[in-house]
Amino acid sequence: PNAPNKSGRGRRDRPQVLRATGQPRTLGVKRGRERLELAVGESALIDPGTPHKFWNAGDDTLRFRAEVRPALQFESLIETMFALAADGKTNTKGMPGPLRLAVIANHHFDVVRLPLVPHALQKPALIGGSLLGKAVGYRPTYEALAGTPATA
């Protein structure tokens, strides 16, 4: 999924490019206001609380690893987002609908927050959206349907 800018409270991220084909062979990284392009073997450190985003800056396949410490519930969040995408339950940017997203984001609020909206405003909005989302049956985690791999 093409995730929006995010910040991790108390979490340090380190993306590293493993393999790439096509041109250019780079991972785009936005770290705060800085834009980077990482080639195969390169990595970047993203300090806790720094807004950041990753994307494939080339036209072909790119594999990268993102080390997240401490992981907390981040693995659960990533598994949920990729499983939703694998099952076709996201938009073209890899994001679920607003009510489902509110349920997921509220559950993972200690792990990932949007950097542009003050956290004191995010939490009440997520609680309200989460209550509505749960009322229509959305859960904070999601597993891909049997036989559908949810890989990055």
Which of 27, 53, 69 is a domain's end point?
69
Residue 146 counted as domain residue: no
Same domain, 60 and 95: no
pLDDT category at 112 given cuts 50, 70, 90 is confident
- At residue 2, the pLDDT reads 47
Distance CA 43, CA 40 (A): 9
Residue 2 counted as domain residue: no
pLDDT digits (tens, 9 = 90+) for 52-101: 888 888 877 888 888 888 888 888 998 999 999 999 999 988 899 999 99
DSSP single-letter state for residue 24: S
Residue 44 counted as domain residue: yes
Distance CA 46, CA 34 (A): 11
- At residue 148, the pLDDT reads 56
pLDDT digits (tens, 9 = 90+) for 129-139: 999 999 999 99
Q: What is the mean pLDDT of residues 115-130?
A: 91
Same domain, 16 and 65: yes
Same domain, 94 and 61: no
DSSP 3-state percent helix, strand, coil across the chain (nearest 5): 25, 25, 50
Same domain, 83 and 54: no
Same domain, 61 and 78: no
- Asked if residues 9 and 46 have their Cβ atoms less than 8 Å apart, the reply is no
Distance CA 2, CA 93 (A): 5
Same domain, 131 and 79: yes
Which of 23, 43, 69 is a domain's end point?
69
SS3 for 150?
coil
Same domain, 78 and 51: no
Q: What is the mean pLDDT of residues 119-135?
A: 95
The set of residues, in sequence order, having a beta carbon less than 8 Å from that of 136 and lying 6+ positions away, is: 99
pLDDT digits (tens, 9 = 90+) for 11-47: 667 767 776 565 567 889 999 999 999 988 889 999 8
Half-sphere exposure of 41 (CA within 13 A, CB side): 0
- The whole-model pTM stands at 0.72
Q: Which of 100, 70, 94 is nearest to 152 (CA)?
A: 94
Residue 143 counted as domain residue: no
Total structural domains within the chain: 2
pLDDT category at 1 given cuts 50, 70, 90 is very low
Q: What is the mean pLDDT of residues 119-134?
A: 95
Structural domain for 82, as ranges: 74-135
Q: What is the mean pLDDT of residues 89-116?
A: 91
Phi then psi dihedrals of residue 75, to 5 deg: -60, -40
